[in-house]
Homo-oligomer: A and B are copies of this chain.
Amino acid sequence: MPEIVESPRIAVYGLGAMGLDIVRILHGRGADIVAGIVRPGSDKDGRSLGELAGVPGLAFPARGDAEQVLRESAPDIVVVTVSTYLDETQYEIFATAVRAGADVITLAEEMLYPFATDNPLARELDALAKRHEVTVTGTGHQDAYWVNLVSVLAGSTHDLGSVTGRLSWNVDDFGRALAEQQRVNATAEEFARWQAHAERPPTFTHYSLYALAAALGLTPQGALRTTTEPVIAERDVRSKALGATVGQGRLLGYTDTDTLETEEGVTLSVSSRGSVYEEHERDFNEWNLTDSSGRPTLHLRDSDLDTAHTTCATLVNRIPDVIAARPGIVTVDKLPQLRFRPVRRAS
């Protein structure tokens, strides 16, 4: 495996917490960072990347004129950490990089498997990338923990009836906006009213379940179903994000459960619980497999994860795979096995 992670010219588009963590990882690995791109006129526009990321060097400024800076810096690949969904704004960001002849690797959750819905922008982007002979791939925490670890695990059985994931994340890790979105401190009645009228975008696991089906060689049958259940506080719990105490009987958050049936008769599902944690609770991913008669067969649990960190590290480790991949949108189920990329020690 060539150590190409250290040779490509890399631009980072989006310098929020994730983008800057990726800059720090890349910098620490001696990668060739050639540009940083921010929203024009944002308070980061014009400040040096080194200052923004808190690392020595990288004295060149973050810039808002994406098209021009990509032309000048000629990156091989652009890391995009701007937003979640493949909407018109996100499409234009990807398209700018693609038209500049660069591969794109992104944390945008929809890009993990943009063909999971009939989003026409996915087909357009795929065609555009093929025309420019570059690759576009979405990766992140899901790549390892919701798709490929499960795929390897399932590779150790021959009789698969169901794959069931249970994920848990702490609302308090993500601030007030997400706490409100997760209905923290609502009453059960308020939640029921909200649920009856909410128009919610697809869950993150919606995309990962389609990627998992592809990794397992399974063909989705019918539409993915999502159900949502409130997580009710059994006692008063303090929410850091909300700066308030959630009273007993009120919502700590909710659990989304996505279920996808397949033509091969294997049922895939994931329950993702986003709630304010009590003191003893920790993030985890847990996967349970059964055979076709429903008997439990395989079990895997990873816990105490630093999800933000694994997200960024996974992206960095995927860069050589994306550079080597065929043109078009290439989803993570089509890439080689995710693997650690060692840095050679100077001897």
Contact = CB atoms under 8 A, between A and B. Distances in A.
Interface of A: 1, 25, 28-29, 141, 143-145, 148-149, 151-160, 215-218, 263-266, 296-306, 309-310, 312-314, 316-317, 336-345
B156 A339 contact: no
Given A300-B300, A342-B218, A337 B151 contact: yes
Contact of A156 (B301, B314, B344): B314
Given A1-B217, A302-B299, A343-B264, A158 B316 contact: yes
Given A305-B298, A342-B264, A155 B217 contact: no
The complex is assembled from copies of this chain, and their number is: 2
Nearest to A318: B155
Contact of A340 (B28, B149, B151, B303): B151
Contacts of A1: 217
A343 B219 CA distance: 12
Nearest to A151: B339
A155 B304 contact: no
22 contacts: A141-B156, A144-B153, A149-B152, A152-B337, A153-B302, A154-B339, A156-B310, A156-B313, A156-B317, A158-B312, A158-B313, A158-B341, A159-B313, A160-B340, A160-B342, A216-B342, A264-B344, A298-B302, A298-B310, A300-B300, A301-B301, A336-B336
